[in-house]
Amino acid sequence: MNPGDIVPLAFNAGLVGLSFVIAALGSYVALLAAARIRRPGIGGGAGTVSMGYVLVAALALGGIGIWGMHFIGMLAQRIPFAVGYDISLTILSFLVAVFFAGAALWYVGHGRYGTQRCLAGGVLAGVGVAGMHYIGMSAMRMPAVFAWSEPLVIASVVIAVAAASAALWLAFSVQREWHRVVAALVMAGAVCGMHYTGAAAGSIICTTPTTTQASWLLGGTSLPYVVFVLSALTLVVMRWLLHRTSTEYREQVAARMDALLDTKSSKQGS
């Protein structure tokens, strides 16, 4: 392509599907963890927030479901020249996604659950998601520049806030397994909708190739598949840990209840 040409907006259908799958898997694990953020137990810890589950949910939702989806989605866009990604900005986009997702989950989980708190958390998370997206796009290193459509940029931020609000509402509302599966698919659709709206907001205009690029770049045609495999493996480990901690918690509660019943029986017998 020649300098000044606009790259047509087109995507690799397989990678788009892969981005949806990783968003759905990350959302599902995040929903499992979010359901346990508020401790329902007995004793002094009841009703408090478990920061461990907040971290797991933030990593699953922000780090994999959103950031992993974003990264695979960026690589899904058909661009007729090599593209690298600045490592420092790519890491920053990951940290922004995880931090804002964790902050929103903690905010909604630590107080009395309600619509206003959920919407406020959605704004917090949505701004973080949008920030992550545009930081990630600014990390691209290529012989081209972006021309932004302000209406589409605004639309992508609105979608991000709406998607985050829906995600938080679902995270603290769904209970049954099939509810979580459906909710994860809905969340994945919302996250992908935000991403691809944001991608459409930036028209790529070719420039003269430059030789001054950042020293540390990510790139390669196999990278999206590596990201997907590593993300999927991480989610499998998270899912296993959540199952294990849930089983241990139920056993501890059952043991406490048995001890209470034994104590009460012994008192009645004496």
Amino acid at 9: L
In-domain check, residue 200: yes
How many whole angstroms separate alpha carbon 169 and alpha carbon 118?
6
CA distance 231 to 191: 16
Q: What percent of the chain has pLDDT over 70?
A: 76
Q: Would you call 235 exposed, middle or buried from its count of C-beta atoms within 10 A (0-12, 13-18, 19+)?
A: buried
pLDDT bucket at 44, cuts 50 / 70 / 90:
very low
Whether residue 174 lies inside any domain: the answer is yes
Q: Based on the structure, what is the number of domains in the chain?
A: 1
| Residue pLDDT, tens place only, 52-95 | 788 888 888 888 888 888 888 888 888 888 888 888 888 899 89
Residue 84 domain-assigned (yes or no) = yes
Residue 194 counted as domain residue:
yes
Residue 122 lies in a domain: yes
User: Could you tell me if residue 4 is inside a domain?
Assistant: no
Domain that holds residue 230: 13-269
Beta carbons of 39 and 110 less than 8 angstroms apart: no
- Number of other CB atoms surrounding residue 267 within 10 Å: 8
pLDDT, residue 96, reads 93
> What DSSP letter does each residue of 34-73 carry, written as one string?
HTTSB---SSTTTT-B-HHHHHHHHIIIIIIIIHHHHHHH
Position 1 in a domain: no
* Cβ-contact 58, 38 below 8 angstroms: no
8 falls within a domain: no
Question: 218 pLDDT band (50/70/90 cuts)?
Answer: low
Quick: pLDDT tens for 236-269: 766 666 666 655 555 554 555 555 555 655 555 5
The model's pTM is 0.78
